[in-house]
Amino acid sequence: MRKFLKTTLVSAVFTFMIGSAYAQLTPLNSDTEQDRINWTELESKLGSFPTLKEGLKIGGVSKTLTNEYWRSLGEGYKNFADKHKVFVAYQAAANEGDQLGQLSIAETMITEGYSALLFSPQTDVNLQPAAEVAQSKNIPVVNVNDAVMPTATHYVGNVQKDNGVRVANWFIEHSAEGGKVAVVEGQPGVFAAKQRTEGFTETINKSGKFEVVASVPANWSREQAYNVAMTILQRNPDLIGFYVNNDGMALGVVEAVKAAKLQGKVAVFGTDGISDAYKSILAGELTGTVDSFPVLTGEVAMEVVLRLTAGQKLPRVVTTPQALITLENAKTYSEADAKTIREILSK
C-alpha cells in the first residue's frame, strides 16, 4: 500500500511539473504565432550551421509511410542528416488512424535515448504525452507538419490556412460568375484540416459569388473521398469545383468526377504536391494542388532540430514554402532539381 501511495505521489508530482512547465506556453497556432521566421532566414538570423556533437541520433516519427508526402518528408530528413554525418531513424504508424501505434513508436525512441525527435502527429494531441516526457528529459522535440500540438515548443511547416486561401483565389479569378463548390476535409479535429478548410471557405465566401454546398470529412482516405464526392455530385449536378485537403483524397475525387462524366466541367484541387498529383495535372485530370515541398520541409526541419541540439535558441515557428500548381507551371516544378526548387522558392 505504501509503495502504491509513493508511486502515485511521484506520478502526481511529475504530472504537475510538466503541467507547470507548459502552462507558460500559449497554445500553439502555427499559422498566427508571432515568434516566427521564414525558412530562408535561418542562416541570416541564426548564423552559420553549428559544429555538432559526435554520435547524435535523431528520431523521426511520421503519420504513415503509405502516403508519398510523408515518405518524401523522411527523404528530406535523411538528405540533411547525411550531409552532416548524423544518424536518423524514420518510423511511422501502420496507417493514418493508428494513433496508439504512433505514440508507442515515439515512446520507444525516448526510451532508446535519441538525441532529438521530429514528430508529425496524427492528431493535435496523440503525441503530446510523449513530447512532454521527452522535453522533461531535455530532449529537443520539433513538431513537423501538419497536426499541431498545443504545447509544442518548436514547429516547422507551412501556413496551413494559406493552402485553402490560394485555391479559393483561383476559383475567384477563374469563375467570374461564381457557382457551387464543395470541400472534402481531412480528419476531423486536426489543425491542418481545419485551417485548410477555413482558409478556403472564408476566402471564397467573402467574394459573395460562391456557395459552399458541402464540407465533408473523408479522413485522408482516397476511397472515402470518392464516395463523398459521388454523393455531393449526385445532389449538386451543377457543382463547379472541389477543394480537397490532401492529394490522395483529391485523386479519389477526380475518379468520382470522371465516373459522373463531369470531367472538364468540375475543377478539383488537392493539397501536398505528391508526384501522382503532378502526373494527374499534366494529364489534364486534376486541376491543381498546393505543393508544400515535403523534401525541402524535411531538410529544414532537420536543420532546425540539429541547431537546437547545438544549444541555439530558435523562434517557436519556422515557416516553409508552398505554391499553387496548375497545368501552367506543373512542368516547371516537376522537372526542377532540388537546388533549382530552392532558388525558385527563395525569391
Per-residue pLDDT of 49-107, as tens digits, reads 999 999 999 999 999 999 999 999 999 999 999 999 999 999 999 998 999 999 999 99
Residue type for position 42: L
Amino acid 214: pLDDT: 98
Percent of the chain with pLDDT over 90: 91
C-alpha cell at 265: 466541367
Least confident among 22-26, 78-82, 297-301, 331-335: 22-26
User: What pLDDT, in 10s, does the model give residues 299-313?
Assistant: 999 999 999 999 999
Domains 26-156+295-320 and 160-291 are alike in CATH topology? yes
Amino acid 11: pLDDT: 34
What is the rounded distance in angstroms from the CA atom of residue 259 to the CA atom of residue 282? Answer: 20
Cα–Cα distances in Å, from 207 out to 96, 168, 172, 183, 345? 35, 10, 7, 17, 29
CATH classification number, 160-291, choose in 3.40.50.300, 3.40.50.720, 3.40.50.2300, 3.20.20.120 = 3.40.50.2300
CB of 145 closer than 8 Å to CB of 297 = yes
- pLDDT band of residue 173 (cuts 50, 70, 90) is very high
Of 194, 142, 200, 199, the residue nearest 171 (C-alpha):
200
Domain ranges within the chain, ordered by starting residue: 26-156+295-320, 160-291
Q: Is the pLDDT of residue 32 over 60?
A: yes
Of 35, 44, 24, 38, the residue nearest 316 (C-alpha):
35
Amino acid 3: pLDDT: 34
What is the rounded distance in angstroms from the CA atom of residue 154 to the CA atom of residue 308? Answer: 10
DSSP E strands in 83-193: the ranges are: 87-92, 116-119, 141-144, 155-157, 179-185
Least confident among 6-20, 49-63, 121-135: 6-20
Percent of the chain with pLDDT over 70: 93
Amino acid 14: pLDDT: 35
Cα–Cα distances in Å, from 303 out to 221, 295, 318? 31, 13, 11
Least confident among 15-24, 173-182, 201-210: 15-24
Q: What are phi and psi of 56, to 5 degrees?
A: -65, 140
User: Mean pLDDT, the chain, as a whole number?
Assistant: 93
CB of 269 closer than 8 Å to CB of 243 = yes
Provide CATH code, domain 26-156+295-320: 3.40.50.2300
- pLDDT band of residue 12 (cuts 50, 70, 90) is very low
Go through the chain and tell me how many residues it has: 347
